[in-house]
Structures are given as structure tokens and as C-alpha cells.
Amino acid sequence: MNPDKSSKGWTDIRHQLKSWSKPALLALVKDLYEFSPGNRDFLHARFQAEAADGAALEQYRGKIIEQFFPKRGFGKLRLGEARKVIRDYRKATGNLEGTIDLLLTYVENGTQFTREFGDINEPFYNSLDSALEELVDLLLQAGAGLYPRFRDRVLRVEQMADHIGWGYCDSVHDQVARLEEALAGGSVPG
């Protein structure tokens, strides 16, 4: 083990922070806040996760939508950045419902993008599919209580995905069927 690496770990930092006064800790957090936009987003999300207005969630949602449908120009489709936004929100807040909402926002916008602009490519659909699978797994873990909040949106994605290639349509149908079977008693609205 590299001695330099172990001396620079979290344990050493934590040990030092324990001896700091509250004003010193606040100054450090302020410095971190001012250091980067990512730190600011993290802190806002952490402290606004339970806020009634949902400002933090909306800020993260906007970053996802921006990759597909920016206010100006064409979508850049930096899918890795959009997925990072979801991971960052989850780390910052631990909010399961918000994480599911952002995953669904990603899938909705990706599906709408391909409906409007045509066939994309296999990695694009694989990314949408993996996000949908992740949100289905989270909903299944959460149980039936959370699914009704998202059900209409999930069913709308299934309709939008109809006839999209690369196996995406079939995959969406299979994932929705998993949800419906497990959490909605197998009933699909007609």
C-alpha cells in the first residue's frame, strides 16, 4: 500500500474537521460552494430535497431535458452527462421518488427525441433501456405505494415507444409489463 495514499484519505480529513469550530466549518462549506457549479448543485439539492416547491428536482430535470431539447439549437445528446445528473441528484438527496422521476424524465425525453427526429443508434436505445430498467427496479423495490404516481407517465412512454426499432419498443413493453404485473395487479387501462 502506498503510504502517501493512505495519509490523504477521508479518515485524516475527518479527524481534522472534528477539531474545527462551527464558523470554520461554515467557511469551508462556503468555499466549496463557490469553488464549482457541481458543488453548488449538490448543496442546493441536499438542503432542498424535502422543500415543497421541488426547486432542486426541477433544476436537475432541466439539465436532463437540455440534452435532448435545449432552449436554443439542437439536442447534443450527451447521454452520459444526463445520466450523471441523475446519479448526482441521488447522491445529494437520497430521494428515491425524485430519482425515479429523473430517470423517467430521461426516458420520456429520449423517446420523444427519437419520435421527432427519427432513428438514432443502438447505444442511444441501450442507454434509454438501461435507465428504464433502473427505474423499474427502483419502483419494484419501493412497492406498490409509489407506482401510481408514475403509472400514467410510464404507460405514455410505452405508447410513444411503439414501432421504435433496435428492440427498444419490445424492451419498453416488457419493462412496463413487469411493473403492471407486480404493482398494478396486471391490469392495463384500456
pLDDT in tens, 83-95: 999 999 999 888 9
Other beta carbons within 10 Å of 127 = 19
Do 105 and 88 form a contact (C-beta atoms < 8 A)? no
Amino acid at 57: L
Judge if 43 and 75 occupy the same domain.
Answer: no
Range of the domain at 61: 57-183
Evaluate if residue 45 carries a pLDDT over 50.
yes
Assigned domain for 189 exists = no
Judge if 71 and 164 occupy the same domain.
Answer: yes
Overall number of domains in the chain: 2
Across 1-5, 83-87, 159-163, least confident range? 1-5
**Is this prediction's pTM over 0.75?**
yes
Assigned domain for 85 exists = yes
Assigned domain for 63 exists = yes
Helix axes 79-93, 96-117, angle to 10 degrees: 170
Higher pLDDT, 190 or 110: 110
Please tell me the distance from the alpha carbon of residue 2 to that of residue 81, in angstroms, as a whole number.
33
Judge if 22 and 96 occupy the same domain.
Answer: no
Assigned domain for 88 exists = yes
Please tell me the distance from the alpha carbon of residue 99 to that of residue 80, in angstroms, as a whole number.
16
Evaluate if residue 42 carries a pLDDT over 50.
yes
